[in-house]
Amino acid sequence: MTDTRTATGDGAGAASTSPADGKLHGGRAVGLVATLILAVVAFQLNASMITPALPDMARTLGVDIDSVSQVSSLFFLAGAVGGVLLARWSDFIGRKRGLLIVLGILSVGTLLCLFAPNLQILLVGRVLQGASSAAFQLSYVILNESLTRKMFGTMLGVLTAINGGVGGVDGWIGGLLTDAFGFRSLFVVIFIVGVLALVCVWVAAPKDAGAASTGRMDWWGAGALSAGLICLTYFVSTGGDKGWLAAPTLALLVGTIAAFVIFVQIEKRRTTPLIAVEHLKSRQVWPVIATTVLTLSSVFAVINFTVVMLSQDTEIGFGMNAATSALMFLAPPALIGLAAAPFAGWLAVRIGWVSILRFGLVICLAALIVITMFPQSQWVVFAMIAVLGIAYNGLVLTTSNGLGVIQSPVEAPSALPSMNSAAFGIGASLGIAIVAPFVGSGGIGGYTTALIISVVITVLALGASLVLKAAPNRD
């Protein structure tokens, strides 16, 4: 697979391109990147800004921590499904139209969260917000189609840094607003940013100049894959809660296997599948997806759930309020990643995307082992979280996103990014679902068990990355 893609096209309202290479340069490129940054910020606030407010949501809505964890797990599960549908759909309807649809769904979901009278309505809103995760995948594809190879690596790093939190400021502000006004105030801010992003994309994004893929969207395949992802997530969470041999758990396992088998059979018969089966079997594709799922299941869960809960635990943890917890453990990795991710993209173009991915995973594994050994040492945990800012927020996330784009089949530019979107969502959802029962069980033993599980999953992620083979003429 050689990379022969050019810009999607500019049309009357688009940024002008260089006649030599068909890519954006100078101020036009900067303007496009700024617009995409605002679009992905509108989504990311729903992930990183909400985390410090989870305990307040539990108190306000009268539910326990295990139940309120669905606010995050369902959000990322919806991101897995929405990323598959909306990112791949943009190959047929156009990038700009797809991004406008994504931001519209985000705004509706935010309003539901703002006025939710109970946990059930709040979860519906979070599902709609999660579906807007396709904003990232659409932005990555637009960058690849519109910028030069060298600019793509650095600018993808910029967007990836936002994927780890908006410079850490969002988590800190989220904690302050939660302490002062309650969790609903966060959704007011998110709604304003989302509407602003919608307007800016409408005005400034390049006009669609035709479909990137011929044929029609494979909705049957998308439905089967979505069913499989949902069953898989609930299989894990139900198994941890009711037991792995309980009837509901086994039913979900059967549903998962059946859905994925049906998905493969559908893909074999489609002229324009979500992604061709021969690509899925390739070492250039499936290890990208596997590495992303496993990394999010481990490192993300530690940073955004286990350590946050530990820091606010008044009995065996650090006894912090929401704002201090965010300032200590969410802001540092995001701020560090803000600088490390663009550098990681720049470095990956020159050294190799796969090599940088593996190097980052090795550092992540070492940091998680240290946290597991000293979970009650506040400053040791703080230092290792800072290291994860470089390794996870910088090196691993940037290369995972980059590989999702550059290794996608040429005939379906959004196929692998959309599958990688599912991998991000399902990984984050699975990670939280797996460790939440142990974290909620009380005692340092529960936290330690959760951390050990995360270490084991990181080892598996490193193993998957070692199988990964760079696509020819891409790395």
The pLDDT of residue 22: 63
The pLDDT of residue 163: 65
Residue 217, class by beta-carbon neighbours within 10 Å (0-12 exposed, 13-18 middle, 19+ buried)? Answer: middle
Q: Which of 188, 186, 189, 169 is nearest to 177 (CA)?
A: 186
CB contact at 8 A, 243 and 249: yes
The pLDDT of residue 21: 56
The C-alpha atoms of residue 54 and residue 319 are separated, in whole angstroms, by: 15
The pLDDT of residue 15: 39
The pLDDT of residue 19: 43
Per-residue pLDDT tens for 320-339? Answer: 887 788 788 887 887 888 88
The pLDDT of residue 115: 87
- DSSP assignment of 361-418 equals HHHHHHHHHHHHH-TT-HHHHHHHHHHHIIIIIIIIHHHHHHHHHHTS-TT-TTHHHH
* Below-70 pLDDT ranges, the chain: 1-22, 24-25, 163-169, 171, 210-214, 237, 240-241, 473-475
300: left (phi over 0), alpha (psi -120 to 50) or beta: alpha
* Residue carrying the six token digits 């290479």: 21
CB contact at 8 A, 466 and 447: no
CB contact at 8 A, 162 and 341: no
* Residue carrying the six token digits 């560090």: 336
Q: Is-above-0.85 flag for pTM?
A: no
The C-alpha atoms of residue 380 and residue 378 are separated, in whole angstroms, by: 6
The C-alpha atoms of residue 355 and residue 475 are separated, in whole angstroms, by: 10
Q: Residue 399 to residues 46, 152, 291, 405: CA-CA distances in angstroms?
A: 23, 12, 11, 10
The pLDDT of residue 391: 94
Give the contacts of 422 (CB within 8 A, at least 6 positions apart).
Answer: 80, 81, 83, 84, 225, 229, 289
Q: Residue 347 to residues 277, 355, 406, 437, 472: CA-CA distances in angstroms?
A: 32, 10, 15, 39, 19
CB contact at 8 A, 427 and 458: no
The C-alpha atoms of residue 87 and residue 79 are separated, in whole angstroms, by: 11
CB contact at 8 A, 405 and 416: yes
The C-alpha atoms of residue 410 and residue 415 are separated, in whole angstroms, by: 9
Measured in residues, the chain has a length of 475
Q: Is 340 helix (H, G, I), strand (E, B) or coil?
A: helix
The C-alpha atoms of residue 381 and residue 303 are separated, in whole angstroms, by: 10
Per-residue pLDDT tens for 67-84? Answer: 777 787 788 778 878 878
The C-alpha atoms of residue 230 and residue 362 are separated, in whole angstroms, by: 30
Residue 437 exposure: Cα atoms within 13 Å on the Cβ side:
12
CB contact at 8 A, 360 and 419: no
Angle of helix 353-373 versus helix 444-467 axis, rounded to 10: 160
